[in-house]
Chain A
């Protein structure tokens, strides 16, 4: 059964600090992995996608890493801002239909001044 474990469940950091969110998955076979950001009261928005052959990808202050061998991904946020407060959801994909996407429960990040 495909599973996604994200840690920590929640995180509080001071504005300007860095943080790293973790995602372990058991999806097999593996095609790609997306990180979504979900602001409170809104739908998720894609931040980045990692394919099997990619190890690191950056999108502004967000840097995602992927280790397909150990089935782990991380999302590093640099110089956090108040607007980074949101839930971050890891979504690995097996390459089959979209119906086979497995959503993680997310990490709730709170950035405080």
Chain B
């Protein structure tokens, strides 16, 4: 059973397009996250979402927006894609927002041409 799943695994698109990445967790966790891992392999948190409270990393462009239809899902919408958005995006979840173990999805490799 997959604990945290993401779709699609690969996403290739043109500059200017709008795309979404879906994430689902079946662990019953309260908190979900989106991370960006660039070519230098540095993991940077983009969003933390807990009980309808969204915390946004101030460096994230407002072209990125998380959408949570329910506690088990946190989707990532990206508008007007740019070349610099190319990276691997990881979804993760944890029991709470107090720094516990995070369970990561398999990642979505986004390539913007």
- Chain B positions near chain A (C-beta within 8 angstroms): 4, 31, 33, 40-45, 48, 55, 90, 92, 94, 96-102, 104-107
Interface residues of A in 62-113 (CB under 8 A from B): 87, 89, 93-101, 103, 105-106, 108
Residue of B nearest to A105 (CB): B42
CB distance from B95 to the nearest CB of A (A): 10
A98 to B99, CA, bound (A): 4
CB distance from B4 to the nearest CB of A (A): 7
CB distance from A44 to the nearest CB of B (A): 5
Do B99 and A31 have beta carbons less than 8 Å apart? yes
Whether A45 sits at the interface, judged by CB under 8 Å, is yes
Do B105 and A98 have beta carbons less than 8 Å apart? no
Q: 5 shortest A-B CB distances, which residue pairs?
A: A43-B104, A93-B99, A99-B48, A103-B43, A46-B101
Contacting residues, chain A, for B41 (C-beta < 8 A): 87, 105-106, 108
A87 to B107, CA, bound (A): 15
Q: Which of A31, A43, A49 lies at the interface centre, i.e. has the most chain B CB atoms within 10 A of its CB?
A: A43
Select which of B96, B98, B107 is within 8 A of A42 by beta carbon.
B107
A52 to B78, CA, bound (A): 39
CB distance from B41 to the nearest CB of A (A): 6
Contacting residues, chain A, for B42 (C-beta < 8 A): 103, 105
Select which of A41, A46, A101 is within 8 A of B45 by beta carbon.
A101
Whether A26 sits at the interface, judged by CB under 8 Å, is no
CB distance from A73 to the nearest CB of B (A): 16
10 contacts across the A-B interface (CB closer than 8 A): A45-B104, A46-B101, A97-B97, A97-B98, A97-B99, A98-B94, A99-B55, A101-B45, A101-B102, A103-B42
Do A41 and B97 have beta carbons less than 8 Å apart? no
Whether A7 sits at the interface, judged by CB under 8 Å, is no
Residue of A nearest to B96 (CB): A98
Do B40 and A105 have beta carbons less than 8 Å apart? yes
Whether A34 sits at the interface, judged by CB under 8 Å, is yes
